[in-house]
């Protein structure tokens, strides 16, 4: 997960779901938690400690933007079970890096993910656990998700944003005023 560590990111549920995965899967795929410390982290800290003690979680803290490509390049998968996002740039970055992704089915995230990410109910720990297991172990799905993620990420660019914004203004200017 790459984000500020705050309640809306739903990290305590992610950690509970991850801890429920089979031991062998957790041993092969330690969780890297990336992001600056946010607020209201007492519950999060409670769930971090046991996974850190066993080496199944690596807390990396804030990572500068310039270093994120190397971090994504080393990732096996990306999980973003946020309860609310205005956009979800980390999800897009992961898909643009060819990383199979899991995301919440809430807020703007389905639009960002398209059909490229595995969408889960972020409040259902069983759904999140099953999603993580699928994300980490289904190699056929992972192989299909990579090109879908790359294609979905290409749909978002600053150039396209500018073009679509200009198109909206043109339509508004062309509408009859009354």
d(CA 29, CA 76): 8
Look up the CATH superfamily of 7-174.
Glycogen Phosphorylase B; (3.40.50.2000)
% residues pLDDT > 90 (the chain): 77
Q: Which residues pair with 80 in a beta bridge?
A: 103
pTM of the model: 0.87
Residue 116 has pLDDT above 70, yes or no: yes
The domains of the chain are located at: 7-174
* Cα–Cα separations (whole angstroms), residue 142 to 6, 44, 107, 149: 28, 29, 24, 10
Kindly give the residue spans of alpha helices, DSSP state H, lying in 109-157.
109-113, 125-137, 139-154
Residue 1 has pLDDT above 60, yes or no: no
Between β-strands 31-34 and 57-61, what pairing exists: parallel, antiparallel or unpaired?
A: parallel
Kindly report, residue by residue over 49-105, the tens digit of the pLDDT.
Answer: 889 999 999 999 999 999 999 999 999 999 999 999 999 999 999 999 999 999 999
Token pair belonging to 151: 């294609």
Token pair belonging to 4: 């500020």
């Amino acid at each position: 997960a790459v984000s500020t560590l705050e309640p809306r990111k739903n990290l305590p549920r992610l950690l509970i779901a991850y801890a429920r995965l089979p031991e062998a899967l957790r041993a092969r795929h330690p969780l890297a938690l990336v992001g600056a410390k946010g607020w209201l982290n007492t519950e999060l800290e409670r769930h971090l400690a046991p996974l850190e003690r066993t080496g199944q979680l690596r807390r990396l803290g804030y990572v500068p933007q310039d270093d994120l490509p190397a971090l994504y390049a080393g990732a096996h998968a990306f999980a973003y079970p946020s309860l609310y996002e205005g956009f979800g740039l980390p999800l897009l970055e992961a898909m643009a890096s060819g990383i199979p992704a899991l995301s919440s089915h809430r807020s703007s995230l389905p639009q960002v993910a398209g059909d490229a990410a595995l969408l889960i109910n972020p409040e259902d720990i069983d759904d999140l656990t099953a999603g993580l297991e699928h994300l980490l172990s289904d190699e056929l799905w992972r192989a299909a998700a990579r090109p879908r993620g790359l294609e979905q990420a290409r749909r978002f660019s600053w150039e396209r944003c500018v073009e679509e914004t200009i198109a909206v203004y043109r339509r508004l200017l062309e509408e009859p005023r009354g």
